[in-house]
A and B are shown apart, each in its own frame.
Chain A
Amino acid sequence: MNNIPLTIKETQEGLKSKKFSAVELVDSYLAQIKKHNDEYNIFLTVTEELAYEKAKEIDQLGDFSNPLSGVVTSYKDIFLTKDVRTTAGSKILDSYIPQYSGTVVKKIEQAGGIMIGKLNCDAFAHGASGENSDYGATLNPWNREYVTGGSSSGSAASVAANMSLISLGSDTGGSTRQPANFCNLVGLKPTYGAISRYGVIAMSSSLDTVGSLAHTVDDIEIMYDVLKGEDGLDGNVLNARRYTLNPRPKLGIAKEYFIDGLDSEVENMILDVKKTYEKMGIEVVEISLPHTKYMVPVYYIIQPAEVSSNLGRFDGIRYGNDRNSFGEEAKRRIMLGSYVLSAGYYDAYYEKAMKVRTKIIGDFDEAFKTVDAIISPISPTPPFKLGENTKDPLKMYLEDLYTTSANIAGIPSLALPSTFSKSGLPIGFQLMGPRFSEHQLIELGKKYHQEIDYKPKTAF
């Protein structure tokens, strides 16, 4: 087959009309992987046999009515896949073969998805560039001198490089949205409690969400509808009532977003987005999120605290490798987290951060009384070069300025590609809405892409 379709709809139409078979689809993606993976370091494990097995099964059944029938899917390597090595991007788990699959992996399998492999990522999802992977950084398919963003680096790169149609990442502080943004993709960070985290290696339990990456908002919608809902295994997941869409939605931009660190290209893009919505007759107003400046400090207390707890199980007794196999960033976060939780410091750090978290949630509750969604930058800068931020961890942490708020508040956020920077790299924005307003954000995202006549495209 010549061109691999870039949407679920086209893929399934092609399968139905026998333009190509599922096996041929797998052939094409595998060919792409074989051609570029060594160079771009996207897949850690390619599940060729399993993919062909599933594709044959689909071809034999000839039934393409399941929502993800024939959709070739890749997984960030923190999703547990039964009998398939799962490393979390860390040497600690270099030889770890899980005995069970995560809920979302099972859901995708049941919906007809074909797993093609497991993806590189910042070790234990700690990072905003992919450079913290113990298996080396993933290169950005749009320009190999640049980072893909992180921590779901491989997820974004695999879709941008046409090695899978969709991908699952995770989003604890922006780890799905920022790489989606850096690789010209749509990414969804769902409401905390919309999608089960069962079988996803935990980073920060109160912030972790399962992220979806695809070329179009339509595909993100299909993925969300497949993935959401109670599974009886993640006690924080709720079957939400259908969210009532506002037919005349109103948008807001927080005045606190326009700070010194905001790159002018990103700022101008945000102003363009505002104009685009206004052109469609959607009102965009200025709002205030007064606690925005505390976002990164709060995030870098709560998140390492929970990281230090969740990584404790890798104590050298199980899982093959001892604690020396932890990378620098994991060690840094374990130290930070243990410190903020320790007797004598708990009140000053963790306890206080939890209080500010409540204030931040209050900010958003207040804002959503007047607007249905908030337009925000994702990264303060366009994609940066490999090695540019690695010397200064604090500078890297500031990458999370705009993305962590949705995790801290537990609200959904949709990352949308918008344009390309002067250096030819993708930039985009996010829409954040109230809890369980995913479909409202999806509608707003579709409108925007219609208006700018967005066409999905891959880097090569």
Chain B
Amino acid sequence: MLYKTIIGLEIHIEPNTNSKMFCSCPQNHFGAKPNSQTCPICLGLPGALPIANKEAINKTIKLGLALGSDISKISKFYRKHYFYPDLPKSFQTSQKDNPFCIGGELMGKKINHIHLEEDAGKLIHQDGNSLIDFNRSGCALIEMVTEPVFHNVEEVISFTKELQLIARYLDISNADMEKGTMRLEANISLSTDHGLQSTAKLPDYKVELKNINSFKFLEKALIAEIERQTIALDNSEKLVQETRGYDENTKTTFSQRTKADSHDYRYFVEPDLAEIKLENSKFEILNSKLPELPEQKRKRFAEQYKISSDYINILVSDFDRANYFEVAVKLDPSLTKSIADLMINKQFDKKYAAASLVRKLKEITNVEYSSQSDLEEAIREVLYESPDIVTSYKNGKGQVIGFLIGQVQKKLGGKGNPNMVNLKLTEELTNKNF
């Protein structure tokens, strides 16, 4: 039977702040020696208290503004309680009501909200021991929750890639799945109702797919899970609410936790953190600092440079490359297409600075020379403008011709055929009219 796939996403992004969410330990923990970046606050020691990181809040709001979310005028942190060895306070400071960003949209997909929270530590199981590394404990973490609006794997992947790109454009995070600065959870269920419009008709279960750490895994895991659910429904099995992981070896998903042991998080407002009030002026400042977003850039490139949409997608997918392209094109707009060619097919932008690329390009491409009449016109102008040089030449200083050649090329934008310029100039200078 045919089913309609329904997927909602929870995407975690570790922002590139200087310090953790509630203390001054470094946020970036990649490759750091275990437990070398901790303090009483992120270790959850008795007596320690949190101070909210303003940079993390600003980055969360920037993401919300970029996606058209409503920004809460008053926002609060909550304590979310559960017991786990990597959670030293026994609660995670997160948000519930009044998260920083509510609603919003990306690629036509509705976003429920974006909130800010702290990360847990990392458990490492080795040689029969379980070890805890608290370097990640208390790190700032932005979580975006979408509505259940995805109906196939491709949509999920393109959405996630676009979000990654936006995070990079906004300089809020490198959003690198392999490094764990972007992590994804997908809630998947299948519906027999193809006209599904409202959330009221959602299936009575959903499967939360966790621990997805690359785009490749994401695709494989989603496909495997959709297949598992399809077979189960075809066999009239009842699907249950559960959390599943993906096993790369068996290429299947496996159950991690079922609803029976689901949590009651006992949320309440974190008394140690005051409400965060946001002034309108603050939104305006953050809003005015937003860079051009990828989609805007794609549209502008299409209009301004008239290059293929494939080229545009590749260039825009890297903020620095897109900038390089524009710098190079500005040096010589007539070379636009060649610059794009060389960047995309030959990776020349990795080897040369923009200016030298343009120079190289002029050497290796067959630049069309100026027309005969343009050349003659330019020579006449130069000779007229430089009577002293002409006199010097006539007085036997033959070497000044180099200067005159330069002047002519300048007028021709470097497009004079060097041989022709030399020939014509000499002709004119020896013309007895002069």
* B81 & A313 in contact (Cβ 8 Å cutoff): no
A80 at the interface (CB under 8 A from B): yes
Q: How far is the CA of A451 from the CA of B79 in the complex (A)?
A: 49
Q: Known: A100-B40, A342-B264. Contact between A235 and B273, CB under 8 A?
A: yes
User: Is the contact region of chain B dominated by helix, strand, or loop, or is it mixed?
Assistant: loop
Q: How far is the CA of A98 from the CA of B81 in the complex (A)?
A: 24
* B88 & A313 in contact (Cβ 8 Å cutoff): yes
Q: How far is the CA of A233 from the CA of B48 in the complex (A)?
A: 8
B103 at the interface (CB under 8 A from A): no
* A309 & B266 in contact (Cβ 8 Å cutoff): yes
Smallest distance from the beta carbon of A183 to chain B beta carbons, Å?
Answer: 26
Q: How far is the CA of A172 from the CA of B165 in the complex (A)?
A: 49
* A312 & B268 in contact (Cβ 8 Å cutoff): no
Q: How far is the CA of A202 from the CA of B44 in the complex (A)?
A: 11
Q: How far is the CA of A317 from the CA of B274 in the complex (A)?
A: 30
Smallest distance from the beta carbon of A232 to chain B beta carbons, Å?
Answer: 7
- 8 A Cβ contacts from B355-412 to A: none
Stretch at the interface among B26-34, B49-57, B205-213, B343-351: B49-57
* Residue of B47, B89, B273 with most partner-chain A CB within 10 A: B47
* B268 & A341 in contact (Cβ 8 Å cutoff): yes
List the A side residues contacting B85 at CB < 8 Å: 317
* A313 & B44 in contact (Cβ 8 Å cutoff): yes
Smallest distance from the beta carbon of B138 to chain A beta carbons, Å?
Answer: 13
Residue in B52, B88, B266 whose beta carbon sits within 8 Å of that of A235 in the complex: B52
Q: How far is the CA of A80 from the CA of B88 in the complex (A)?
A: 18
* A235 & B51 in contact (Cβ 8 Å cutoff): yes
**Chain A interface, number of residues (Cβ within 8 angstroms):** 37
Q: How far is the CA of A198 from the CA of B272 in the complex (A)?
A: 10
B108 at the interface (CB under 8 A from A): no
* A205 & B272 in contact (Cβ 8 Å cutoff): yes
* B83 & A312 in contact (Cβ 8 Å cutoff): yes
* A99 & B89 in contact (Cβ 8 Å cutoff): no
Task: Identify the closest chain B residue to A311 (Cβ).
Answer: B90
Residue in B46, B49, B91 whose beta carbon sits within 8 Å of that of A309 in the complex: B91
List the B side residues contacting A313 at CB < 8 Å: 44, 46, 88-90
Q: Known: A80-B47, A198-B49, A236-B274. Contact between A309 and B268, CB under 8 A?
A: yes
A111 at the interface (CB under 8 A from B): no
Quick one: CB contact mask for A385-415 with B, threshold 8 Å, 1 for yes?
A: 0000000000000000000000000000000
B196 at the interface (CB under 8 A from A): no
- 8 A Cβ contacts from A212-248 to B: 232-236
* B40 & A102 in contact (Cβ 8 Å cutoff): no
* A234 & B49 in contact (Cβ 8 Å cutoff): yes
List 9 A–B pairs whose Cβ atoms lie within 8 Å, in order of A's numbering: A80-B46, A98-B45, A98-B47, A100-B45, A198-B47, A199-B47, A341-B81, A341-B266, A343-B266
The 6 closest A-B pairs by CB, nearest first: A312-B90, A206-B271, A341-B266, A205-B271, A199-B47, A201-B46
14 new A-B contacts, CB < 8 A, other than A202-B47, A235-B51, are A88-B46, A98-B47, A100-B40, A199-B47, A205-B271, A205-B272, A235-B273, A306-B268, A306-B271, A313-B88, A313-B90, A318-B88, A341-B268, A343-B264
